Structures are given as structure tokens and as C-alpha cells.
Structure 1
Amino acid sequence: MTLSREQALETLQTYLVAGERLKATSFLADALINNGFVQAAALFNDAQEKEIAPDVWMSAITTIEDTPEGSVIDNVLYSPHNCHLMGVYPNEEDDEPEFTYSIGLWYNFQHPEILCVGLPNRVSGGLINEYAQEIAEGNAPPLDTPLDGVLADGYQLQFKLCSNKAKTEYTCWASWFNGGLHYPVIQMIWQDKEYRWPWEEGFRPIQAQPLLT
């Protein structure tokens, strides 16, 4: 049975006030898996009105550390770039491009998550990490502006704000972490071999980089 937020809060407070920390830890671990880090953290913070138990929160995170969800949380909280990189490799029969996106830039810096479609994940992951470091230092990339100095041979990048399609079709794990779609995403857009943008005539291959703006 799925509990409402009010029921979940009451249940967690009951465990904490009664000193049933194992039950509270298990309850929070389930909340992390099912509802994402942001919603689970908000639930725990509200529950502490009656009992301060920071060890329960850390125990819940430790409980799920060997799960995919735990790996995402660990990277967002403790990695040098303050984000987790999610690389997705579609099945060959799907004929879809691979893509990479960040998880944690919105949580840590109130900066949109970055999504790159069509480049090899090792390349796009490295680029996102470079920009994550810049963002951590207070240097967010501008939108709708061709950017030099990152790619070789004079190729440029550009960032554009994504529509909700990006969040429903691409950045699913970021939606899980943030507990919904109320976070922004920007697309890192690259040029083809002839220095053309996807919106310019002749861009090839057109299917490699769908525009999600």
C-alpha cells in the first residue's frame, strides 16, 4: 500500500519518537529508493520536529549504498564534480544515439542538469565534467551562445534550455533523484564535421542529435 506524504511523515515520526531506529532506517531507505533523494530528505527533515536523529539518515543512505540509487546519491554528495554522470547506450536494434546527462547540478548549485545526445559517452561525459567544475566555481555557461576553447579544431558547443520532453524521455534518473520534473535541463549541442549546427541546412547525420528545446 502506498502511503500519502502525511501518513509517511506520521509513520516516520512514530518510529523516531519510540526510539525504533532500525525501523526508521528501513523506512527511510525505502523512501530513498521509491521517491528519490530530495523527497526522502524533505520527509526526514520534517520528521525531526519531534526527534533529532541524524544517524538514522546516514544509516539509511548506507543501507542502499550498493544499489544503483545509492551510487547516484554517493556521487552527487561526495564526488569531486558534485554530480553523477548517467551514460545510456541504447540497443543496437533501436538505432538510437547514445546520450549522457548529469544528476546533481540542480541539487548542489541550482544549475540546470546538462544533457548531451549523440556524442560518444566518454566524450560527452568528459565535457559535462569540465562544465560541472566551472559551475562549481561559479562560472555557469551562457545559453544560446556559441562557445569556443573546449573542443579541438575550432568546433563549438552551445547550450539551450530543454522542454519537458528531455525529462520524460532522457533524464529519468535525474527526475528520480529530484522527486519529479520540477528541475531544468539544458542540452549541450555540438556541430557536425562541417561546423554546422543541427538547425542549419545540411547537418549530418540529422538523427544523431535530436533537438530537445
Structure 2
Amino acid sequence: MDLNNQFDAELGDDILENIKENGYHIGVIEGDDYLPAFAFSIGLYKSYQHPEIIVFGLPMEMMKVTINTLCDAVKKGTKYKANTEYNDILNKFPVKFLEVNKAYYSDYLRYNSWVYDHSNNFPAVQLVWTDNKGNFPWDTGFNSKWKFNQPLLDRNIDFKFYEDKDLEVYTTKYTFKGNPIRWVYHTKDGGWEFHSEEHPDFEDAQSIRLSELIKMDPTLNQLFELNYGKFATRKDLNSPWGIYDHNEEDE
């Protein structure tokens, strides 16, 4: 299942068939060098009036088994509650379920919305796991190596990027003059450039914190999934983004 591609009608039929026969379907999205893998249920609310469940950043097989185990427990009557800690799900390490903000549904639960008649009329919770010392991602001592492995879908709807809010990114003086950003590049080494023009004059380059730039133009949140070595362009603020591979030889 690839959420970045157009809807797969054949896959949609398989999802509906699995829900009809088993009560739910398990969706999996493979990760890459930038984005974490994740797995999620489809149909729990339709079949059992239980929130759908999503989990990020663990080994793929572990996530599939975990979601399947949770779904089977729901079939037998278990109800997992948001903002409640559980110690019997992931090898006795604490986990907690967070209520997913619906602002994230179009990013991670698009097939769920399709099942529910192209609507967001279903609840969802995120299973959040701890590091090997029992720290949650919001705890000060959480292992920094796993910092970006699981976005927290109950918060930060005004800043969806995986990076730190204080990350310095490049733009030009024309952005500060009010020109709309129409060209965005996520470099292969993880840097970001946001410009009003496709080939900016770097004598005009200025740096700004990523969070400040997003406040200036919240529509940039649409590009939080832009991968390394990709660039995005649009005609104006009301136009959709086009995503392309960046070829440095063209510069």
C-alpha cells in the first residue's frame, strides 16, 4: 500500500473483503531514509466501534504483529483507551494510546477515510512506544536516536515536519518582502531551501528557523513528507505542488 500514489481500486476491494471476512484489514507503509514505516488498522470502528489504531517506527514485522494482536483483542471485547498507559503490549515496555487529531487523517489514514465513505467520521488512536529505559518521546531522557521515528499525531498540527522547529533553513530576501514561496528543495544531506524563484541568487540568501517560516506560510506543511533529493514547485499559493527529483546538473 502506497499512500503517495493514486487510489488503488483493486486494493480497496481487498480491504473491504478483509473487513467483511475478518472484521478488519491491516495496512502497512514501508519507511525509507527519511520517513518512518508505520502500520494501521482499517475497519475496527466499522466492525466493533473501536478507534482505528496506528503505530510508527518499529520493525515492520513487529508492527504488523502488534496491530494484528490488538485487533484480535478488540474482537474479543478489549477496549483500549486514549491517554492510558499499558504494560502488556510490547514486551512489558510501557505504551500509551493518544487520540489522533483529524488534521493528520489525510496524511496517514487516507484508506480509512475511503472505507468510511470518504469522510473522517471515525476515531483513531496512536500507539506510542517507549525507549528501552521506559521513556516516552515527550520525556527529557528519551533516546535521541529514535527522536523522529514516531510523529505524535495528537499535537503539532501547525508544524508537521519531522525536523526540529529551530532548524535553520534557507530562503531569500524576497520571501521576507512577501513574495510567495513557489520552489522548495529538500537536499540530500537533509537541508531545506524555500524560495520564491526556482534558481535563486544566493547572494540574496538568508536563513530562518523552520517554525518561523511555517508561521509565515502554513501551506508549506503540505510538504512535510518531501524526501531527500526531491523538490516541489507550484504556480501560486492556491495551486497544488508538483514533486520532482532534483538534478544538480541542471543548476
The TM-score normalised by the length of structure 2 is: 0.54
One-letter amino acid of the structure 2 residue matched with residue 100 of structure 1:
A
- Alpha-carbon separation, structure 2, partners of 1:182 and 1:142: 18
The answer on 1:196 being equivalent to 2:139 is: no
2:85 counterpart SS class: coil
One-letter amino acid of the structure 2 residue matched with residue 166 of structure 1:
Y
**Alignment partner, residue 69 of structure 1:** 12
Q: Structure 1, residues 96-126: CA drift from partner, whole Å, max 9, x if none?
A: 1000110000110111100101112211121
Counterparts of 1:107-122 in structure 2 under 5 Å? 107-122=46-61
RMSD in angstroms over aligned alpha carbons? Answer: 2.1
**Alignment partner, residue 246 of structure 2:** none
The answer on 1:89 being equivalent to 2:30 is: yes
| Aligned partner of 2:88 among 143, 149, 155 | 149
Choose between structure 1 and 2: higher helix proportion. 1
Counterparts of 1:118-137 in structure 2 under 5 Å? 118-137=57-76
Q: Structure 1, residues 36-84: CA drift from partner, whole Å, max 9, x if none?
A: xxxxxxxxxxxxxxxxxxxxxxxxxxxx7xx1111111111102xx211
1:122 counterpart SS class: helix
- Alpha-carbon separation, structure 2, partners of 1:91 and 1:176: 25
Q: Structure 1, residues 126-150: CA drift from partner, whole Å, max 9, x if none?
A: 1111111121122112221211122
Give how far 1:91 is off: 4.0
One-letter amino acid of the structure 2 residue matched with residue 212 of structure 1:
L
Which sections of structure 2, spanning at least 5 residues, go unmatched? Answer: 1-5, 155-251
One-letter amino acid of the structure 2 residue matched with residue 108 of structure 1:
S
- Cα contact 1:115–1:186 (8 A) shared by 2: yes
| Aligned partner of 1:99 among 38, 46, 51 | 38
- Cα contact 1:102–1:115 (8 A) shared by 2: yes
**Alignment partner, residue 153 of structure 2:** 212
1:87 counterpart SS class: strand
1:100 counterpart SS class: strand
- Alpha-carbon separation, structure 1, partners of 2:62 and 2:104: 20
| Aligned partner of 1:172 among 92, 96, 110 | 110
- Alpha-carbon separation, structure 2, partners of 1:114 and 1:150: 13
One-letter amino acid of the structure 2 residue matched with residue 68 of structure 1:
L
One-letter amino acid of the structure 2 residue matched with residue 84 of structure 1:
H
The answer on 1:163 being equivalent to 2:101 is: yes
Aligned length: 146
One-letter amino acid of the structure 1 residue matched with residue 40 of structure 2:
Y
- Cα contact 1:166–1:185 (8 A) shared by 2: no
Give the share of equivalent positions with the same residue, in percent: 26
The TM-score normalised by the length of structure 1 is: 0.64
* Bigger RCO of structures 1 and 2 (CA < 8 A, at least 6 apart): 1
- Alpha-carbon separation, structure 1, partners of 2:86 and 2:133: 16
- Alpha-carbon separation, structure 1, partners of 2:32 and 2:95: 27
